[in-house]
A and B are shown apart, each in its own frame.
Chain A
Amino acid sequence: MLAMNYRGPQRVRIDNMPMPEILHPEDVIVRVLRTCICGSDLHLYNGNVPDTRVGMTFGHEFVGEVVEMGSDVQKLKVGNRVLVPFNIACGKCAFCKQELYGNCHEANPQATAVGGIFGYSHTAGGYHGGQAEYVRVPYADVGPTIIPDEMDLDDAVMLTDVVPTGYQAAEMGGIQEGDTVVVFGAGPIGIMAAKCAWLFGAGRVIVIDREDYRLEFAKNYSNAEVYNFESLEDPVVFIKRTTDSLGADVCIDAVGAEAAGSAMQTITGRKLLLQAGSATGLHWAINSVKKGGIVSIVGVYGPTGNLVPIGNVVNKGITIRANQASVKRLLPKLIKHVQNGVINPKAMITHRIPLEEVSDAYRIFSDKLDNCIKPVLIPPSARS
């Protein structure tokens, strides 16, 4: 089968790879119908995530059709079209029982801090991902959700990560009616977080980014005020000045490890890898939030230390809520929002690219070429 093959930083290609097999009685094999490149895949692509091994297939956002099942799978049938959450969860451990599906303790032997994630390095379990024609999906009775008949596959694939992560970013902000919410980062997650902030009753939503085309998209899609930080002398001072000098009620870091905007962070975090990526977005979020405000982090950071202003966190009494999205918990509500037209995820997809052109797709997304917001890869078997 064809699958994306990581060869090193900024080098990926399409190759013939072995077909996935059932390795556990609760596994299924899924034929991929749509798969996305996520902003967090770029951290892998750029070689910033430890234990990203040559030969891996990335891809944690995918939907497909069940083609083979393990002996213990109860809830699915061959032929079901399923939406597969990006996190792999057993449903039995203490954390899954708390609906912390992103924190499952039975899916990732390599680390305890993060759960299992499809195609996200061995730090997240060493699973091949969905940027392929077929993929092995463990714990099939827990994660995969049957796609409603009337749902567009493009909407469904956005429900595997983008919509729930953006939604949870807003939810973790504990937004109260009338709150001012600032989202750092106008990638797909940031745009979705801004959109969802309104659902919690925000009174003002501001998005900060460097790319004008992304800000324009955020303005149109999320009804947000948008600002290019390169046109601001200091984004933190700007936020303070526009919020009566107090700061925003809620700040969301939707950027993570590869934030631009600070030479020191860029050199130490992105170039020299002396910290787990550039924490510029987090710095701005912590410093822009009001005292007693809330910082919500969904941007991905590597596992090593960062030069985070933790003193400010303590002194300002900021509550930080952060997690990988518990997709399964959120899906029933979000599916309804999509069905009712409250959220229109597929409107974020700007590029549909054949899986065979994965190298170019990564370059377009990584370098923000051709006004790309969200690329979807379509395997050849899903095009016929």
Chain B
Amino acid sequence: MKKTAEDYKHIKGWGIDADPKNDPTYPIKKRTDDEHDGYSWDRPAQQPIDIEVLHSNERPNVTAVFGTSVPPSGLSGMIRRQAFKYGEGSFAHWIPLMLADRVNVVEGIVDDLMHAKVPNIFAEQGMKAEWKHNPMGLLQKFAIGTAIATAAVVLLARRK
């Protein structure tokens, strides 16, 4: 097979980690066989569960530590709670979570407004950088968006 670099000396470190046993058919696991004993290890202390933590129905409990960034709330939270009734391999788990994420975006805007904050969506999308580095692309996006919106308005007006 063609090789383009027959002399590898110019490549610093060439072959220094070569290991003929690094073959995927060769066991790579550092087997301890501890997993044969099931869920029996000396568990770390449990982080206090003082917020709602949804956990996979494929495990018996909440892990010893967990993130507390955004507990489920509102309509999106209700959808997420339903999703967690299903296993991780099920579309009934993931599709509702994706739906909840989209609902959550609307909740985020409402929450901003309730806190007297009008989200600057143009800035949040980083359009200042787009304008600086890709003005033609931005204008193109704007033109396409305008065309689609106009077409939609015309279509709706005709139906009436």
Instruction: Give the B-binding residues of A (Cβ under 8 A).
Output: 7-13, 23-27, 47, 50-57, 72, 88, 90, 92-95, 97-100, 105-113, 116, 122-123, 125-128, 138-139, 171-172, 174-178, 180, 196, 198-201, 203-204, 223, 225, 242-244, 246, 273, 294, 302-305, 319, 321, 333, 337, 340-343, 359-364, 366-367, 369-370
Contacts and interface: CB of A to CB of B under 8 A. Distances in A.
B67 A176 contact: no
A94 B35 contact: yes
A27 B44 CA distance: 12
Interface residues of B, number: 85
Interface string B51-90: 0011110110111111111100000100010001000100
Contacts of B44: 24, 26, 90, 92, 106, 139
B126 A125 contact: no
Interface string B38-57: 01011111011000011110
A347 to B, nearest CB: 13
A363 B63 contact: no
A246 B141 CA distance: 43
A342 B16 CA distance: 10
B30 interface: yes
Contacts of A177: 15, 18
B98 to A, nearest CB: 5
Given A23-B48, A98-B32, A341-B12, A108 B88 contact: no
B14 A243 contact: no
Nearest to A100: B29
A26 B94 CA distance: 32
A304 B104 contact: no
A204 B67 contact: no
B119 interface: yes
Contact of A13 (B35, B94, B123): B123
B43 A106 contact: yes
B3 interface: yes
Given A94-B37, A95-B35, A223-B10, 5 more contacts: A98-B32, A106-B64, A107-B65, A178-B3, A369-B133
A319 B22 CA distance: 13
Contacts of A26: 44-45, 65
Where chain A touches its partner, the secondary structure class is loop
B88 A57 contact: no
Interface of B: 1-5, 8, 10-20, 22-25, 28-32, 34-35, 37, 39, 41-45, 47-48, 53-56, 58-59, 61-70, 76, 80, 84, 88, 91, 94-95, 97-98, 100-102, 104-105, 107-109, 111, 119-121, 123-130, 133-134, 137
Contacts of A108: 63, 66
Contacts of B120: 13
A203 B3 contact: yes
6 contacts: A56-B69, A112-B58, A116-B67, A127-B66, A176-B18, A203-B1
Given A116-B67, A363-B125, A97 B32 contact: yes
A249 to B, nearest CB: 8
A123 B91 CA distance: 14
Contacts of B15: 177, 198-201
A362 B125 CA distance: 8
B45 A11 contact: no
Contacts of B11: 198, 223
Kindly list the 9 A-B residue pairs having the minimum CB-CB distance in the complex, ordered from nearest.
Answer: A363-B126, A126-B67, A127-B67, A8-B105, A360-B129, A54-B108, A342-B13, A201-B18, A369-B133
A134 B68 CA distance: 15
Contacts of B88: 111-113, 303
B58 to A, nearest CB: 5
A107 B22 CA distance: 29
Contacts of B42: 92
Contacts of A111: 56, 58, 88
A175 B31 CA distance: 22
Contact of A109 (B63, B97, B102): B63
A343 B14 CA distance: 11
A325 B4 CA distance: 30
Contacts of B43: 92-93, 106
A359 B123 contact: yes
Contacts of A294: 24
Contact of A55 (B20, B45, B47, B70): B70
Contact of A7 (B16, B35, B105, B128): B105
Contacts of B16: 199, 342
Contacts of B121: 11
Contacts of B109: 7
Interface core residue of B30, B54, B105 (most chain A CB under 10 Å): B105
B44 to A, nearest CB: 5
Contacts of A178: 3
